């Protein structure tokens, strides 16, 4: 199975996303996620330096500050009573991405009713709930992605694909309202940061150290503005596409990964005890912030995250539309075919992962990884179109997860056999992540 996946993902020819991704265009335009051909190649080359390790190092401060705010809120819930921790983690990751992508600390964790949050998340309408109950065995999570849910809802219903029907049935109006708020926020921030950038150029000389964040922490947006002036002209629309793409890819996926990691660790007390031991060996009883050196020492914590991403990959499937014929196992797959890669199933291949349903972080010890096919595990995709922000994601996930486990012992309430999964754009637990938290002594 892994070889078949390699044929598609490793190819420089099969780079085009499937038609399903076109429903993201009103929101994300043709940024790095959705673009193809020469535009994708040029954007990928342009954006790669934005994920230089020195820039990621500078973001550690943001990860620490926002996770501390989350911990203060969780302290009020650490009384052994069950509650859904998913929204707490999601709001934290949204704060992180707003600050790292936009340079805006908009304090979402203390203002979850803000217009921006309401555009991204929403209660499900009764019409959608009734429809889903009638035609499917599951329903949307109450705390679900608003714009993402609209996209997924449309993708799954062919009669909503034509724009005229999408409009006549009222969905376009809701989508347009969400997009206006999200895009207005992005454009307002771009204009403001561009003005600040121009003023800074007048007052100081921008050098390489500043570009990589050594003297001043620059958001992803600031780096795009700098690249626009130094390398190529990027319009506000171009910059908005990439910032919105980073916002989309960089918080929902990360929130899901942290929640699944915490859920699984909460199901396995023995593994949680080992994680606590690792964190205690690094931090003792200190409340100090996490450093890059600390992250390198969190080997078991990272392996728990990787194993959670194996069992519950944030992106449960990938899709390509073939622009050239592909040959897989002597079968010729014609041009125009949509090839679907279901990572959820790929990661359960018993030849690559014996006893695949067992949560075993030691699968990711170096000696075990070396025995597997390189395309057996692709939570961040693989090949030329792999996730450009995967190091950013793993760093954030390690800091937020370790911050929780340094303070608390977690017990997951839902048994594995009782889990109900919700496969939207992101893989979520249908009923949230209900846990019990206990302060560590």
98 annotated binding-site participant: no
Question: Which DSSP category does 27 fall into?
Answer: H
For 83, list phi and psi in degrees, rounded to 5: -155, 160
| Element of type H or E holding 318 | strand 317-321
Contact 405, 279 (CB under 8 A): yes
Whether 195 contacts 201, CB under 8 Å: no
Short-list 435, 141, 396, 114, CA closest to 265:
435
Is residue 97 within 8 Å of 109, Cβ to Cβ?
no
Task: Assess contact for 287 and 68: CB atoms under 8 A.
Answer: no
- Ranges of beta strands (E only) in 5-120 are 83-84
- Copy the structure tokens of residue 16: 């085009």
Please report how the helices 171-203 and 146-155 are oriented relative to each other, as an axis angle in degrees rounded to 10.
Answer: 130
Helix H or strand E segment including 309 = helix 299-311
CB 437 within 8 A of CB 77: yes
Quickly list H helices, 332-409: 343-346, 366-369, 390-407
Residue with tokens 């709930």: 129
Taking the C-alpha atoms of residue 98 and residue 251, their distance in angstroms, rounded to an integer, is 9
What one-character DSSP code corresponds to residue 114? S
Residue 179: how many other CB atoms lie within 10 Å: 17
- C-alpha angle with apex 378: 373 to 379, nearest 5 degrees? 150
208/60 Cα distance (integer angstroms) = 20
User: What are residue 145's DSSP bridge partners?
Assistant: 121
Q: Which residue reads 């006549």 in tokens?
A: 168
Nearest to residue 419, comparing CAs of 289, 298, 308, 269? Answer: 308
Annotated binding site for heme: 387
Annotated binding site: 387
């Amino acid at each position: 199975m892994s070889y078949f996946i390699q044929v598609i993902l490793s190819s420089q020819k099969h780079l085009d996303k499937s038609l399903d991704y076109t429903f993201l265009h009103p929101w994300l335009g043709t940024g790095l996620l959705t673009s193809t051909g020469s535009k994708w190649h040029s954007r990928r080359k342009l954006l790669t330096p934005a994920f230089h390790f020195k820039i990621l190092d500078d973001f550690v401060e943001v990860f620490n500050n926002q996770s501390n705010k989350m911990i203060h809120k969780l302290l009020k819930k650490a009384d052994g009573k069950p509650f859904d921790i998913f929204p707490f983690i999601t709001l934290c990751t949204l704060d992180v991405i707003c600050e790292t992508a936009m340079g805006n600390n908009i304090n979402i964790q203390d203002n979850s009713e803000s217009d921006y949050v309401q555009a991204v998340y929403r209660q499900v309408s009764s019409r959608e709930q009734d429809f889903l109950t009638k035609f499917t065995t599951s329903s949307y999570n109450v705390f679900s992605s608003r714009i993402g849910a609209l996209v997924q809802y449309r993708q799954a219903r062919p009669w909503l694909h034509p724009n005229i029907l999408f409009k006549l049935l009222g969905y376009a109006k809701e989508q347009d309202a969400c997009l206006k708020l999200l895009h207005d926020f992005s454009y307002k921030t771009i204009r403001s940061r561009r003005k600040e950038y121009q003023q800074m150029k007048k007052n100081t000389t921008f050098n390489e150290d500043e570009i990589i964040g050594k003297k001043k922490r620059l958001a992803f947006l600031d780096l795009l503005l700098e690249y626009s002036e130094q390398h190529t002209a990027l319009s506000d629309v171009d910059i908005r596409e990439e910032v919105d793409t980073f916002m989309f890819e960089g918080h929902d996926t990360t929130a899901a990964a942290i929640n699944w990691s915490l859920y699984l660790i909460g199901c396995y007390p023995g593994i949680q005890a080992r994680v606590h031991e690792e964190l205690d060996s690094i931090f003792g009883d200190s409340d100090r912030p996490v450093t890059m050196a600390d992250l390198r020492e969190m080997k078991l914590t990272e392996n728990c995250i990787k194993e959670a991403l194996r069992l519950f990959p944030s992106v449960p499937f990938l899709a390509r539309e073939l622009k050239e014929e592909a040959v897989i196992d002597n079968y010729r797959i014609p041009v125009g075919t949509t090839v679907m890669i279901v990572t959820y199933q790929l990661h359960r291949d018993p030849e690559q992962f014996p006893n695949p349903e067992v949560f075993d972080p030691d699968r990711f010890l170096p000696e075990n990884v070396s025995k597997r096919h390189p395309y057996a595990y692709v939570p961040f995709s693989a090949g030329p179109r792999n996730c450009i922000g995967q190091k950013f994601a793993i760093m954030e996930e390690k800091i937020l997860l370790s911050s929780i486990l340094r303070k608390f012992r977690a017990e997951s309430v839902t048994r594995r056999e009782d889990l109900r999964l919700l496969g939207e754009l992101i893989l979520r637990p249908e009923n949230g992540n209900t846990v019990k938290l206990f302060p560590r002594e």
